[in-house]
Amino acid sequence: MRAHQEHFEHVRNMELVATQKMEAAEQRKSEEKARRLAQERDRLERERVLREKVAASTFARGFLTGMISSVLDSLWAQGVFYDPVEREVADVFLPWLTAQAQAQLDAQRTARATMAALLADALALQVRQKGLVMARLVRAG
């Protein structure tokens, strides 16, 4: 009976060890399955985030394409961007050229006024001289 009891306990211990091994294997499988499910959820979440980023980037690019040219045109019209040569011509050269032209015109006006005065004086002198000559001729005659 003792041998039978020992045999029974030995078989029971072997079955217990086998059960523990199977439970451990099942536990490992369950943990592996949970780990793979978590990895798959993480992968799906990363894909979802990536799709959202791509969609947002595409939308932003489309939205900004029209806006950028509009903003740049507006800023150009406001004078924020300018051609430096054109700006220098408008701010430096044209005022200088206008001042030089005005000075030249003023000098020409002064010269014409002086010449007109000289001509008037010369004509008046000539008229007086002719008048004197005529008066002498009339007296002499």
In a domain, 94, yes or no: yes
pLDDT in tens, 63-102: 888 788 888 888 888 888 888 898 899 999 999 999 999 9
Q: In the chain, where does DSSP find H-type helix?
A: 2-78, 84-88, 94-140
CA atoms within 13 A on the CB side of 105: 6
Average pLDDT, the chain: 92
CB 75 within 8 A of CB 81: yes
In-domain check, residue 10: no
Instruction: Please report the pLDDT score of residue 33 as a whole number.
Output: 97
Q: Please state the rounded mean pLDDT for residues 130-137.
A: 85
Does some domain include residue 36?
no
Query: What pLDDT sits at residue 141?
Result: 65
pLDDT value at residue 1: 86
Cβ-count burial 71-83 (b if 16+ within 10 Å, e if not): eeeeeeeeeeeee
What's the total number of domains in the chain? Answer: 1
The answer as to whether 70 is a domain residue is no
Tokens of 79: 């004078």
Structural domain range at position 114: 83-141
Q: Which two tokens stand for residue 55?
A: 């969609």
Q: Is 141 helix (H, G, I), strand (E, B) or coil?
A: coil
- Pairwise pLDDT comparison (38 vs 71), residue with the higher score: 38
Q: Are the C-beta atoms of 108 and 102 separated by less than 8 Å?
A: no
Reported as a single tens digit per residue, the pLDDT across 43-53 is 999 999 999 99
The sign one gets for the Cα dihedral 33, 38, 44, 47 is negative
From the centroid of its chain, how far is CA 123? 72
Instruction: Tell me if 72 is assigned to some domain.
Output: no
